[in-house]
């Protein structure tokens, strides 16, 4: 048996097209969603992520602006910037790119973002909304996973789901989303007893623990759906051979780049899983798609009444 590959690139493109269509439909109202990204310093990985986000905004019709304070910025200066963005009506979403420099109190800065503009879904108020099933903004990666499951026809209601990882960004909100969708959810981590045994109970297994290839065949029930949230880099030849021996496509990529990407799931799991997300091309593309969706959602939650009034006047 070989697993069905859940194509994150295709699902991401579908979501972006839906967002773009909805934004085009707002053209007559004179309103479009706006996203402000705050990028501090010159972290190469962060710069790549931000470029991708700004490019997506341009493609979909989202207004965007990038703020680039110096790496020497103080907490107070960043708080002033966030407050100015909070006060601007045309800005619907504020994204503070992590990590921040060590002299900055990152939690204080993130807490200062208006929850109505918190498109990352990190603010405790949005966490509370998710927990109590009220309208709010949900972290992009977990909500992207739910879109993969839904759009791939994988039934969540009544399923046994196991989430490996308990981070505030992925693990905990993932468990809440699955619970809200009527799955029976176990959340576990590196300190859980008999982790392979817990995982083998799962109809849906979400790996978000940040450890290269940790989830092996021994962790997976035959036929289970496996969602790999991990994104790790292999640059060691011996480690490459362990996971990708005989894979000509990966061998070519390794020879060219000196490294390849791998998730938290051993690729051999595809031999027994019913469905699996690849790395790359699985969960990753959904993160930016859901950021765009969240920015549109934030605009509708904030400015929905005005949009309805405009629509009535134009009718």
Residues annotated catalytic, as ranges: 53, 97, 120
Report how far residue 305's alpha carbon sits from residue 281's, in angstroms, rounded to the nearest whole number: 38
CB atoms within 10 A of CB 264: 24
| Helices 140-151 and 171-180: angle between axes, nearest 10 degrees | 40
Q: How many residues does the chain have?
A: 315
Q: By the 8 A CB rule, do 71 and 85 touch?
A: no
Which among 173, 163, 160 has a CA at the least distance from the CA of 209?
163
* C-alpha dist (Å) from residue 2 to 41, 151, 206, 267, 287: 45, 20, 19, 11, 26
Q: Sign (positive/negative) of CA torsion 235, 240, 242, 243? A: positive
């Amino acid at each position: 048996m070989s697993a069905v590959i859940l194509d994150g690139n295709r699902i991401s493109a579908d979501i972006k097209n839906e967002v773009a269509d909805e934004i085009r439909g707002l053209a007559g109202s004179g309103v479009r969603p706006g996203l402000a990204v705050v990028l501090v310093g010159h972290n190469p990985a962060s710069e790549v992520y931000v470029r991708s986000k700004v490019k997506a905004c341009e493609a979909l019709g989202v207004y965007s602006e990038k703020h680039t304070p110096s790496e020497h910025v103080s907490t107070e200066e960043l708080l002033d910037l966030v407050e100015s963005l909070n006060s601007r009506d045309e800005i619907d979403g504020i994204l503070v790119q992590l990590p921040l420099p060590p002299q900055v109190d990152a939690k204080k800065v993130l807490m200062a973002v208006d929850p109505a503009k918190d498109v990352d879904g990190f603010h405790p108020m949005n966490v509370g909304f998710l927990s109590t099933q009220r309208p709010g903004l949900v972290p992009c990666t977990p909500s992207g996973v739910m879109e993969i499951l839904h759009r791939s026809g994988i039934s969540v209601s009544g399923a046994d789901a196991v989430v490996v990882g308990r981070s505030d960004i992925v693990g905990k909100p993932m468990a809440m989303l699955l619970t809200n969708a009527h799955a029976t959810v176990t959340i576990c981590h590196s300190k859980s007893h008999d982790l392979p045994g817990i995982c083998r109970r799962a109809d849906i297994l979400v790996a978000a623990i940040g450890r290269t290839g940790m989830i092996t065949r021994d962790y997976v029930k035959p036929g289970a759906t496996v969602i790999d949230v991990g994104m790790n880099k292999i640059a060691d030849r011996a480690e490459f051979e362990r996971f990708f021996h005989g894979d000509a496509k990966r061998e070519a990529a390794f020879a060219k780049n000196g490294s390849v990407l791998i998730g938290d799931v051993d690729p051999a799991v595809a031999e027994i899983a019913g469905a699996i997300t690849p790395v790359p091309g699985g969960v990753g593309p959904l993160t930016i798609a859901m950021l765009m969706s969240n920015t549109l959602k934030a605009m509708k939650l904030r400015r929905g009444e005005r949009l309805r009034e405009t629509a009535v006047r134009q009718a």
